[in-house]
Amino acid sequence: MKSRYFILSVVLSVAVIACSRNAITGRNQLSLVSDAEVQNMAVSEYKQFLSQSKVISPSASKDAEMVRRVGNRLITAIQEYYKKEGLSNELANYSWEINLVDSKDVNAWCMPGGKIVVYTGLLPVTQTEPALAVVMGHEIAHALAKHGKERMSQGLAQQLGGVALQVALANKPAATQNLFMNAYGIGSNVGVMLPFSRSNELEADKFGLRFSALAGYNPREAIPFWQRMAKAGGQKPAEFLSTHPADETRINQLQSIMDETVRDYYKPMTGSKK
């Protein structure tokens, strides 16, 4: 019992002294690792993941070319958005990469620094380019909102006593790597149903919708996409038992901000696929 109270006191103490304010969400987050640290780790983990996966070249696949095209449009829109908001420095160390990986898993993710992967198993559910943009925008929003960094910091506090990342890597490299992989959903077969908190997921929905609209894709495609995801998802636990928002909650949230998103951010590109 005493050890449990000690661990709780450590976590609370760390949370008090190690918080940072996210640039786009305005929310304070637990931050035990620096952006540079997680981005350096992402470069290594991304390279290793690709070396162990079947990466599909855009020159050999229309699907891979589409994924690359959608990703590049989102990146351009995000860079312009950050510049307009005076936040370009937030993206200064981003080195964007976009790859399509051959896998039946319904999944996509974005590591710190803009390391993006889409799985082929996701494409039959997205079906359209705008729906793919919604999903990729959602995953990029997770990275920009630093949800994975926040989750990894929570893991360091709860599982490793709040030690610095370099200390954790030196003393418990396997456990620390697992924290990173779990924080960013790499290798997960639960698709965009990543294990972020409900508030994080809804936050990513909001900004992901905004980014896809700024990239010229109709954000209204988010609704039929999530309806397809609901049908493809099978049995799910009740919302209060899950960190992921129920499909009905997510769709209602998206519908509540849809008109505002379309009005303020949707900029269709003439002569291109919407």
> In 3D, which of 153, 67, 164, 83 has the Cα closest to residue 112?
153
Residue 274 falls inside a structural domain: no
Its domain, for residue 220, covers 2-265
Rounded to whole angstroms, the Cα distance separating 218 from 268 reads: 7
3-state helix, strand, coil in the chain (%, to 5): 60, 10, 30
What residue spans of 85-161 are helical by DSSP H? 123-126, 129-144, 147-159
Which residues of the chain carry a pLDDT beneath 70? 1-18, 31, 153-197, 233-246, 270-274
**Res 196: pLDDT:** 57
Residue 100 CB contacts under 8 Å (≥ 6 apart), including other chains:
55, 56, 58, 61, 63, 64, 67, 68, 117, 118, 119, 120
With respect to residue 271, please indicate whether it lies within any of the assigned structural domains: no
DSSP at 90: G
The residue among 203, 191, 187 whose CA lies nearest residue 228 is 191
- Residue 139 falls in the annotated catalytic set: yes
Q: Is residue 83 part of a domain?
A: yes
Burial of 246: CB neighbours in 10 Å, binned 0-12, 13-18, 19+: middle
Strand partners of residue 98: 116
Residue 250 lies in a domain: yes
Q: Is residue 31 part of a domain?
A: yes
Question: How many separate domains does the chain show?
Answer: 1
Q: Choose the catalytic residue: 129, 139, 201, 221.
A: 139
Task: Look up the pTM and report it.
Answer: 0.79
Please report whether residue 273 resides in a domain: no
